[in-house]
Amino acid sequence: MKTLKINDVILRTISRIVVFIILTFGVYLFLSGHNTPGGGFIGGLVLASAIVLLYLSTDIETVKKSLPMDFKYVAALGVLLATFTGFGSILFGVPFMSQTFAYFELPIFGETELTTVTIFEAGVALAVVGVVVTIILSISEDGG
Amino acid sequence: MFSINFVILIPFIVAALVPFLYRRYKRIHVGWFVLFVPITLFVILARLIPSVASGKTYVHTYEWIPTLDFNFTTYLDGLSMIFALLITGVGSLVILYSIFYLSAKESLQHFYCYLLLFMGAMLGVVFSDNLMVLYVFWELTSVSSFLLIAFWNHRKASRLGAQKAMLITVSGGIAMLVGFIMLHTMTGSFSIREIITTISEFTDHDLFIPAMILVLLGAFTKSAQFPFHIWLPDAMEAPTPVSAYLHSATMVKAGIYLVARFTPVFGTDELWFWVVSIVGMITLFWGSFNAVRQTDLKALLAFSTISQLGLIMSLLGLGSIALQFGYSSDSILYTQATFAALFHLINHSTFKGALFMVVGILDHELGTRDIRRLGGLMTLMPFTFTVALIGSLSMAGLPPFNGFLSKEMFFAATVHIMELDIFSLPSFGMIFPVVAWVASVFTFVYCMIIIFKAFLGKAQPEKLDKPIHEAPIGMLLAPMILAALVVGIFFFPNLLGQYILQPAMSSIYPTFGDTADLTPNISAWHGINPELLMTIGVILVGALLFKFLKLWKPIYGLFSSRYTFNALYNYVLASSVSGSNVVTNRYMNGLLRHYLMYIFLFFIVAVGGYLAYSGAFSFDMSTNAPFNVYEVCLVAIMAVAALSMLFAKSRITATLLNGVLGYSIAIFFVIFRAPDLALTQLVVESVTTALFLLAFSHLPEWKKENLPKQTKVINGIISIAVGLVVVLVGLSVMDYNQFDTISSYFENAYELAGGANIVNAILGDFRGFDTMLEVVVLFIAGLGVYSMIKLRAKKEDENIEDQ
Amino acid sequence: METLIIMLIGILVAVATYLILSRNIIRIILGTAVFSHAVHLLILTMGGLKNGSVPLLKEAEAPYTDALPQALILTAIVISFAVTAFILVLAYRTYQDVGSDDLDVLRGTKDE
Amino acid sequence: MNNLIVLPLIVPIIVGILLVFLRPYVKLQRAISLITMISIAVVSIFVLNSVQTNGIIRLDFGGWEPPFGILFVADSFAMLLVLTASIVTAICLIHAFSSIGEKHEKMYFYPFVLFLVAGVNGSFLTGDLFNLFVCFEVMLLASYVLVTLGGTKPQLRESIKYVVINILSSWFFLVALAYLYGTVGTLNMAHISARVAEAGQGPLLTTISILFLIVFSLKAGLLLFFWLPGSYSVPPTAVAALFGALLTKVGIYALFRTFTLIFYHEPLISQTLIGIMAGVTLIVGCMGAIAFKDIRLIVSYNVVIAVGFILIGLAIGTETSIAGSIYYIIHDMIAKAMLFLLAGTMIYLTGKSKIDEMSGLIRNYPLFGWMFFLVTCSLAGIPPLSGFVGKILVGQGAIESGSYILLALAFISSIVVLYSLLRIFLNTIFGETIISLEEEKPMKMGMIIPIVLFGIATISLGLGAEIISGYVTDAANTLSNPSVYIDAVLGGNK
């Protein structure tokens, strides 16, 4: 597999720090989607770009060791999660894809709002991450 | 008592059983089992003759598709009784004959299966009263005739003959179907009986004439009338029992049955009289004229069948004139023609059936049917010769045989027609007797050819495959029965007339009350009258022409074979194939650019054209939002970036320019207050550019677009036009504000969906289904990319697919 | 403002059509990318530009700009990303196996 | 109860994803996918009956009132198509078990087929225009992958053209949606129809309807069918059969839905323009069908002829002709799938694809030969088989409305279909057997059973046309008076 020969030193050092910032920003975007700009897609995309940056800066094998899961199944899990939240509402006899929300008193966060939409958004984010990384991986792995 | 529906179904049921019987009883010839079907049916129907003769009709309905009024109604009356008896009677004789004709090594189960399929279908045509069910069986007869003609499917000639027969009869059938639908639209019912009663008020309906012509088209193609006769000679590729059964006695008579059945419907119209009689006359002449030149006996009989069918058809046409005058004492003068038609129908089946079986014997025993190699068979094959003699003399219309009676009545009808003064007959009436007479002369000539060329003269054993010997008794049984019938009918014609023909007359002329006085008393001798003189003339001139046959034979070489209808049929098929190949390859040339150009052109012409034509374009700037300087420069940047993409030298610059476009759109999204979109656009744009660069590592650097100058200009014009149309429609849509959008509902998203970000609420909750499906799209894309890269075609299974 | 944007969309569409009518696969794919950019802008302009504030209930007050087109565009962006990724890989697989990225070569053998 | 309607879409998706996890267990994947398809067929029969008893059923996703949320609307027209699509897919799957090859099955073949069916069922059932776009995309992307699965040279070459043209048609769809949203400001089909009726279909709305006509005729292969012959002749047999039976029907369904529900006010478009396009498609399709010697091309052009014929029924526009078209769509799904399976099996058995390189298959494979003859008669509309009733009703509609040119074209096209299929039949099935009995390839049971099943379906649909005639008349009634659909959706019941 031909590694991308770029002056690794700068990229590797920067990316080691930047990746974590991007990851946190992605998670923040995902969680804040409900009331402020953000949401499943954008969160997933940012997370995916963080992982791609990782692949860019180091070669495929090391990242494979650190992130052992096969991203196709991540995507599959994500889509399953999304569809099951919809399917779940059938079990309650409510029209398909109904989301509910309620306010709970959580110890740390105080009065927060838990909704099934976040599970749906999580599914979407996972799927987006899985798909983008699969595509990037399969193209770069193919190399030959 | 069996209902007629069941009678029609028996052959189909037995046809399904034949393959099992064939496998079960290897030793016995499966034909014997099959023989029971027509015989039992014949007996059942024969028992009904007396009651049908007394005017009783049997109706039985089984609802097939009630909502569409397709009911399987069967209707037994005089006319259908004649045909049913013919089908089952001749059928049993043919099957008896085929048991000896077809050797055991042929695929008998197929043969008998098709034959029974045909018999059931033919009975269906003759009995069914519902137009659609009649069409169902009509097409089944074409299909079974296709299968039977192509029985020896390894021979190219029989395949082509079968295809020609099927194409012509099915096209005629489809034309007839359209005629039936027109009838249904006019009268509102599918049942023939109801149509007959209500048709009188629709005669001036503008669908009446087209329906008539289309129904006639169906009849003419099936009965091999003049322009469509070309399939019958090629259908002779079928085994002889099939030719004897389908292509002389029953299937080709379906068209005649149709014309007879629809005479009360369309008969009152003058056009019907002219078309049916004229086409009948032309076929009569053309058939007999061409029969004389044939060297193959079977082809000769085929053309003779065509001419005899023409004769019956013209008689039916002449008979329809009786409907003009309504029921009166002297209407017998005109109904006589129809009576003659039915009478000749039966006679023709008898003598033509016998002749075909004789030819079958010659072919089976001596291995050839070519007149030039036959001769002198009289002494060595006495029985065959006697049958052939009876058959051909009866066809020629000589006294001691039934052919003479019906030929006499034919001449009488043609003479009577001249005296009428309606339908501008005085001027054209003359052609009927003249053509009838000339055609009968030729008929006489080719009957003499059959007798003298085939049986008399000196024997040429060296030219035959097998030594001349008499056929086994089994094969002779059937033709001898038919020959006996030929002679029997001559001596007791009125037995036939009174019991079978008379009830049929009442079904052709339902409004004519008691048909007793419609049926003339058939007698062999009724003084010197024009018909007798015409017959004597035929015999004399015929003998003369036959004697000097070699003298005038070359006239057949006058018009070359290029202008026959056969050549026309082949030309049409061949040119349609090659022509469509040229045309289709012209526009389906595999070039994506051409396809896209056609699509864009259609878009410009349709949308742009209609926009201009309907004046839908409207434009005003007043309601536009204000804009300031930096937005204008952003637009300018995007425009410049887009245009320079066209002239980018390397693919990297092009991709970067695409990146510029993407990011400036992201900025626009921010300006237009769509933060979510801006975020998504930014990341998607960067990932897409990354993908582009990744893909570039596997793709070559692009060469300069070396499209010819002219195509570049066309592409330019098309793209500008497409852009223009999009702009114009966009501007007029901006100006159209009759409705306000439904999105005001989403504004109280906080109460409804518990989220402040309306866009995310829409995506997650209001239109969550779209998002879910969209994630599935993403998933398929990801999986698709993975499988496309991992699944490589191995070399060896390349060859199948590669053209 | 809308008229200006629609003019821009017209230019983008014209450029994209010209690109898609070319022979080289990469130009065609770039053409499809520009097509999707143009249509995303079109959907937004059809919903009306700048009439109303950001569709975030907490940050801004009524009246809000039309949020429905924004949701549609987001879906359209993701779908066009998926399709572009697919056709990119398809293009480079075709180049690998068929050996050329020129559409004229890819017309397929004439069928007599 | 009306949650049942979403099953034809959601069950294949979920099962498809689950099968991704079961990648190595091919036998299990086969069994599960077949059971799924059969269960969907059963569900759709049940829903079809309940639609028959208590009218159109509506399911609003997320419980949101119609114009604001997305909804599925199950009327008998949609349910009939979903039912036939599931049956056809189930039978094609049986053929795929033995013909697609282990290599493909391990590479997620069954998930892709299930996603394709999900997209098709979704397009039939959806009541929202943008959702129709997304369902189209699901179906299209699954079809892109299925066309390229296997990666042989012709597959890749043809799929590039197929994908680019379909991207362009999706682009047109989005542009049309943008314009429609710009004018009527809503996405729910019934609501659009109400607003278009309220505002009157002015020149601008008719221009947009022409744009929709272009989009759906690109999908249906009406006149703009350039992608069809190439992309239907390269995929594996079972996939080609699925394409032949399902893909064009979705475009046809969309044309029927938009031009009988939304843009029915302007006869210039919905009658003359579609009529002209259908007529030209028939002529061009007929020419294509008899022009080539390659079986797969002949069969692909037969698909184009069928599209032309069905849309003549729409162009005529009377209730009888629409009922005729619905009968013909159902017949065509079954007969075309059978024809593609036969053509594919023929190529598998002989290794050749030109009709003059094969001959006399009847001796080696008699049942196969007779099935081909059966499908030839059925497609030519020869009576007792399923093509007959549809043809009659379209003919009746044409005569009642006096459009004689279309009538003539429609019926002449069935003669050309007969001729084009007879050409194959006489050259390949009949004739000298050139494959000697010893070295002929044995016919796999898995290949002949689906063909026989389709044969039985054609015969039973022909003879038993009474069974579905109740549903078809109800569907035609719903299509020819839009108020039924609009009341069911916006009426606020259920």
Task: Note the pLDDT tens digit of each residue in D168-200.
Answer: 999 999 999 999 999 988 889 999 999 998 888
More confident residue, B152 or B497: B152
Listed residue (B142, B508, B544) closest to B335, CA to CA: B508
pLDDT at D85 over 80: yes
Which residues is A112 bridged to in the sheet?
A: A104
**What distance in Å separates the CA atoms of residue A64 and residue A66, rounded to the nearest whole number?**
5
**Subunit contact C56:A131, Cβ cutoff 8 A:** no
Say if B691 is an interface residue toward chain A (CB within 8 Å): yes
More confident residue, D336 or B498: D336
Query: Could you give the 3-state DSSP secondary structure of residue A16?
Result: helix
Say if D60 is an interface residue toward chain A (CB within 8 Å): yes
**Subunit contact B694:A139, Cβ cutoff 8 A:** yes
Q: Hey, what are B686's tokens?
A: 């960067």
pTM over 0.80? The answer is yes
Query: Could you give the 3-state DSSP secondary structure of residue B71?
Result: strand
Average pLDDT, chain D: 90
Query: Could you give the 3-state DSSP secondary structure of residue A101?
Result: strand
B chain contacts of residue C23, beta-carbon cutoff 8 Å: 593, 705, 707
pLDDT at D142 over 90: yes
Of all helices (H) and strands (E), which one includes residue D49?
A: helix D26-54
Q: Which domain holds residue C73?
A: 2-100
Name the residue facing B699 among C15, C33, C92 (closest C-beta): C92
In C, minimum Cα distance to A44 occurs at C78
pLDDT given at position C47: 83
Asked whether the beta carbons of D98 and D27 are under 8 A apart, the reply is no
Cα distances (angstroms) measured from residue B171 to each of B168, B222, B223, B313, D419: 5, 10, 13, 20, 10
CATH class of domain segment(s) B593-739: mainly alpha
Q: Hey, what are B627's tokens?
A: 């804009």
pLDDT at C77 over 90: yes
Alpha-carbon gap: C55 to the closest alpha carbon of chain D (Å)? 17
pLDDT at D318 over 50: yes
**Subunit contact C98:D157, Cβ cutoff 8 A:** yes
Task: Name the least confident of B316-320, B466-470, D327-331.
Answer: B466-470
Q: What is the distance of C-alpha B285 from the center of its chain?
A: 26
Confidence of residue B2 (pLDDT cuts 50, 70, 90): low
Listed residue (D130, A137, B564, D196) closest to C79, CA to CA: D130
Cα distances (angstroms) measured from residue D180 to each of B551, B732, B799, D183, D215: 83, 12, 49, 5, 14
pLDDT given at position B514: 67
Q: What is the distance of C-alpha B704 from the center of its chain?
A: 56
DSSP code of D128?
Answer: B
Rounded to an integer, the average pLDDT of A102-131 is: 82
A chain contacts of residue B698, beta-carbon cutoff 8 Å: 139, 142
User: How many CA atoms lie within 13 Å of B759's alpha carbon, on the beta-carbon side?
Assistant: 32
Asked whether the beta carbons of B292 and B442 are under 8 A apart, the reply is yes
Say if D69 is an interface residue toward chain C (CB within 8 Å): no
Say if C75 is an interface residue toward chain A (CB within 8 Å): no
Query: Could you give the 3-state DSSP secondary structure of residue B130?
Result: strand
Q: Output the CA angle D140-D144-D149, nearest 5 degrees.
A: 145
Confidence of residue B485 (pLDDT cuts 50, 70, 90): confident
Q: Output the CA angle D57-D63-D66, nearest 5 degrees.
A: 60
pLDDT given at position D66: 81
Average pLDDT, chain B: 85
Asked whether the beta carbons of D306 and D332 are under 8 A apart, the reply is yes
**What distance in Å separates the CA atoms of residue B41 and residue B127, rounded to the nearest whole number?**
13
User: How many CA atoms lie within 13 Å of B173's alpha carbon, on the beta-carbon side?
Assistant: 30
Tens-place pLDDT, residues D394-423:
999 999 988 899 999 999 999 999 999 999
pLDDT at D493 over 60: no
Confidence of residue B319 (pLDDT cuts 50, 70, 90): confident
Which residue type sits at C28?
A: I
Listed residue (C49, C44, C19) closest to C31, CA to CA: C19
Percent of chain B, pLDDT > 70? 95
Three-state SS letters, B156-213: HHHHHHHHHHHHHHHHHHHHHHHHHHHHHHHHCCCEHHHHHHHHHHHCCCCCHHHHHH
pLDDT given at position B796: 47
Cα distances (angstroms) measured from residue D125 to each of D72, D78, D483: 5, 6, 18
Name the residue facing B777 among D103, D141, D418 (closest C-beta): D141
Tens-place pLDDT, residues B219-241:
999 998 888 888 888 888 888 88
The structural domains of chain B, with segments of one domain joined by +, span 4-572, 593-739, 751-803
Percent of chain B, pLDDT > 90? 20
Name the residue facing A95 among D10, D14, D62 (closest C-beta): D62
Phi, psi of A94 (to 5 degrees): -100, 150
pLDDT given at position C110: 52
- Per-position b or e across D307-325, b if 16+ CB within 10 A of its CB: bbbbbbbbbbbbbbbbbbb
pLDDT at A134 over 80: yes
Confidence of residue D132 (pLDDT cuts 50, 70, 90): very high
**What distance in Å separates the CA atoms of residue A136 and residue B502, rounded to the nearest whole number?**
90
For CA atoms B476, B478, B479, B481, the dihedral sign is positive
Rounded to an integer, the average pLDDT of D87-111 is: 90
| Domain of residue C88, CATH code | 1.10.287
Q: How many CB pairs lie under 8 A apart between chains B and C?
A: 274
pLDDT at B798 over 60: no
Q: Cβ contacts of residue A103 below 8 Å, gap of 6+?
A: A111, A112, A113, A114
Q: Output the CA angle D355-D359-D360, nearest 5 degrees.
A: 145
**What distance in Å separates the CA atoms of residue D236 and residue D99, rounded to the nearest whole number?**
8
**What distance in Å separates the CA atoms of residue B190 and residue B293, rounded to the nearest whole number?**
45
Domain count, chain C: 1
Asked whether the beta carbons of B348 and B236 are under 8 A apart, the reply is no
**What distance in Å separates the CA atoms of residue B340 and residue B522, rounded to the nearest whole number?**
10
In A, minimum Cα distance to D70 occurs at A97
Q: Hey, what are B514's tokens?
A: 């008691």
Confidence of residue B701 (pLDDT cuts 50, 70, 90): confident
Listed residue (B160, B155, B238) closest to D423, CA to CA: B160
**Subunit contact D224:B599, Cβ cutoff 8 A:** yes
Query: Could you give the 3-state DSSP secondary structure of residue A110?
Result: strand
Q: Cβ contacts of residue B241 below 8 Å, gap of 6+?
A: B94, B95, B97, B98, B101, B102, B115, B360
**Subunit contact D62:A98, Cβ cutoff 8 A:** yes
pLDDT at D300 over 90: yes
**What distance in Å separates the CA atoms of residue A66 and residue B297, rounded to the nearest whole number?**
92
Asked whether the beta carbons of D233 and D300 are under 8 A apart, the reply is yes
The structural domains of chain D, with segments of one domain joined by +, span 266-463
Q: What is the residue whose two structure tokens read 């082509």?
A: B160
A chain contacts of residue B764, beta-carbon cutoff 8 Å: 33, 39-40, 99, 117, 120-121
C95: left (phi over 0), alpha (psi -120 to 50) or beta: alpha
Say if C26 is an interface residue toward chain B (CB within 8 Å): yes
pLDDT given at position B639: 93
Q: Hey, what are C53's tokens?
A: 């504030």
Of all helices (H) and strands (E), which one includes residue A113?
A: strand A110-115
List the alpha helices (DSSP H) in B397-448.
402-419, 425-428, 431-448
